[in-house]
Structure 1
Amino acid sequence: MEPKSIQTALESVAEFGSFFSLQLGGDDTGWHDVKIDYAAGFTDLVEATAAKYGTRELRIGASIAQLGHAARLWSPVLGAALAHGVVPDLTRLDRADDSGRLRVPSPSGWRYESPEQLYDLVVRGHLEPMAAGLRVKVARGLLYGNAASALVEAGRSVVTARPDLTEPATDLITTLLSYGGLSGKGAVISAGLAFRRTTCCLYYRVPDGIKCDDCSLAEK
């Protein structure tokens, strides 16, 4: 597709929320290929996240960091697919040297074709390589559960901004939740994309932490 079409779509969905915002092009200073982080176990962000939340348990830092990364991936991809019928190419994706912010050096992409296209892009292309590189032992089911939770949260943000997309968003998310590692990690339980996951991100274990609304440990 024309890069301008992808750029227009990404600039538009950036208004849906902070996790939808991707830096588009610009100076390479201050950015590096996120695949370097996957190979290194995302160590800097895991440690920084654990310190931010006041815990010495690095697996909690890894879980929360991965959940945030999943949100930054799913949000612009889901928003662009639902609102504009396009999918940004995240094959080359950069991360800021000092945070979890993401950038595409040169916007490009394709027309949206199928849910599996999105699963391949986000889960197989990024979240599974990230999980494989982690130096901290975190249950793979927990990480897939985080990916499922981030997906549904991204969908809620889309339909909040664009209520007319509620039905296609619900259909797409429900289908994605049946794919690969996302299967069995949670389900949409009511209108408005309320979700109940089958795992826990461990946030409740940090000082003053709580169980998230979709947590498997929360009261039903």
Structure 2
Amino acid sequence: MNALRQAPVSSVAAALKDVADFGGFFSIELGGPDDGWHRIEDAYADGVADLIAATAGRYDTRELRIGASIVQLGHAARLWSPVLACAVVHGIVPDLRGLHRADDGPALRLPAAPTGWHAPEPPHLTGLLYEVVVDRQLDALAAGLRVKVAPRLLAGNAASALAEAARAVLAARGDLREPLAGLVDDLLRTGRLAGTGKVLGPDLSFRRRSCCLYYRVPAGVKCEDCSLAE
């Protein structure tokens, strides 16, 4: 990251605040009191056990791996959404180091003044986004899980969350279809995301090659992008 150009704190904050209007998964709270929050590293080290147990209870299942899958999928969406939107819309890549998680749920917060970089040109942008989201966050979450979940399922969740984030950005900024589609395509060929699925059309619909297991909960269904869907 030494060759990257640091972006002004004001620009990173403005980008994050702007894309928060795209939807709930795009929101990262900035600053404020520390009460009610804890370091994301501590949540990862604990295997996000509190969210997994709460999620399994909410969906009335005893299979904690289903709760773990749903939690990881949701967390991936909360990471990809603001990062992807800031990169494509504002040319800013926020640095998520120092991230906090709410004590009572999955909401995220950057407690200090947000830092980040001016988005580099492809293919360097792809590598930076992968590092910010997968290497630094999702890999740490996976390493801390106390529930056995197949690595390819978790990678498929990460890819599905990326595609869903891209569709939400496209809905807000249809004029950015070309750079958005190109970036998503490059990311889906990178690292653990490679081979997890493919984009099907100009609307960035996606078909994954794994299943998040949601269909196994009572009243659950197969997701639209599921490998098991007809």
TM category (shorter chain) comes to: over 0.9
**What code does the residue aligned with 2:142 have?**
A
- 1:202: which partner in 2? 213
Correspondence for 2:92: 86
Residue 117 in structure 1 maps to residue 124 in structure 2? no
> 1:162-197 deviations in whole A, cap 9, x for unaligned?
000111110000000000000000000111001000
The residue aligned with 1:104 is 110
Q: 2:173 — aligned with what? A: 162
- The one-letter code of the counterpart of 2:89 is A
Partner of residue 4, structure 2? none
One-letter amino acid of the counterpart of residue 211, structure 2: C
Pairing 1:22-33 to 2, within 5 Å after superposition:
22-33=28-39
SS at match of 1:137: coil
Confirm or deny that 1:180 pairs with 2:181.
no
Aligned positions of 1:1-220 closer than 5 A: 1-106=7-112, 107-113=114-120, 114-219=125-230
CA distance in 2, matches of 1:110, 1:191: 29
Amino acid corresponding to residue 111 of structure 1 in structure 2: H
Q: Secondary structure of the residue that 1:127 maps to in structure 2?
A: helix
Q: Which runs of 5+ in 2 are unaligned?
A: 1-6
Whole-angstrom distance in 2 between the partners of 1:126 and 1:215: 24
Report the AA paired with residue 97 of structure 1.
D
Q: Percent identity?
A: 59
2:29 alignment partner AA: Q
RMSD, aligned CA: 0.5
**Partner Cα separation in structure 1 for residue 202 and residue 95 of structure 2:** 31
Q: What is the total number of aligned residue pairs between the two structures? A: 219
- Distance apart, 1:108 and its partner CA: 1.2
Please give the alpha-carbon distance, in whole angstroms, between the structure 2 residues aligned to 1:96 and 1:160.
Answer: 28
Task: Specify the code of the residue in structure 2 equivalent to 1:133.
Answer: G
Distance 2:224 2:55 in 1: 21
Give 2:52's aligned amino acid: V
SS at match of 1:190: coil
The runs of at least 4 aligned residues of structure 1 exceeding 3 Å deviation read none
- The one-letter amino acid of 1:143's match is L
The separation in 2 between residues aligned to 1:96 and 1:75, in whole angstroms, is 18
Alpha-carbon separation, structure 2, partners of 1:40 and 1:33: 11
| Residues 62-89 of structure 1, C-alpha deviations (whole Å, 9 max, x = no match) | 0000000000000000000000000111
Distance 1:48 1:35 in 2: 19
Amino acid corresponding to residue 102 of structure 1 in structure 2: L
Pairwise CA distance, 1:158:
0.2
